[in-house]
Amino acid sequence: MWRHPFPGPGLAVRICGEVTRDRCELLRRADQIIIEEVTAAGWYRKIAQAFGVLLPVSSVGVMGDGRTYAGQHVIVIRFVESTDFMTADWVHIDPTILGRLLHVSQMR
């Protein structure tokens, strides 16, 4: 019952756009980071659903003097609280956790 994102959408539903083996693996890694950081911060049982959604867009990065879109995937993080899973609200999570998620994801 406490496994995130249960009850919730499977992996392929959380990939907007083409579903490929590489994109599934990217989302699996993102989910792992999300769950590890939420657990380490003591928020795992405070959140009803915690998971990532892979968007079909790239964010811009900088390499040398130019822009690059290579490897700059966008993943949305969804944290909701619910008592019955018929209604939900967003989690008012500690912003330091979001900062930690960004930092860790850039390192991996």
- Return the SS3 of 9: coil
Q: Which residues of 3-40 are buried (b: 16+ CB within 10 A; e: fewer)?
A: ebbeebeebeebbeeeeeeebeebbeebbebbbebbee
Predicted pLDDT of residue 1: 58
Residue 7 lies in a domain: no
CATH number assigned to the domain comprising residue 41: 3.30.300.10
Residue 34 lies in a domain: yes
Number of domain units in the chain: 1
Average pLDDT, the chain: 86
Residue 99 lies in a domain: yes
Which pLDDT band, with edges at 50, 70 and 90, does 59 fall under? confident
Residue 1 lies in a domain: no
User: What pTM was computed for the model?
Assistant: 0.81
Does 60 or 20 have the greater pLDDT score?
Answer: 20
- What would the pLDDT profile of 72-107 be if each residue is shown by its tens digit? 788 999 999 988 888 999 999 999 999 999 888 776
Looking at the chain, the whole-number percentage of residues with pLDDT higher than 90 is: 57
Please give the backbone phi and psi of residue 96, each rounded to the nearest 5 degrees, phi first. Answer: -65, -30
Q: Which range of residues forms the domain containing residue 30? A: 12-107
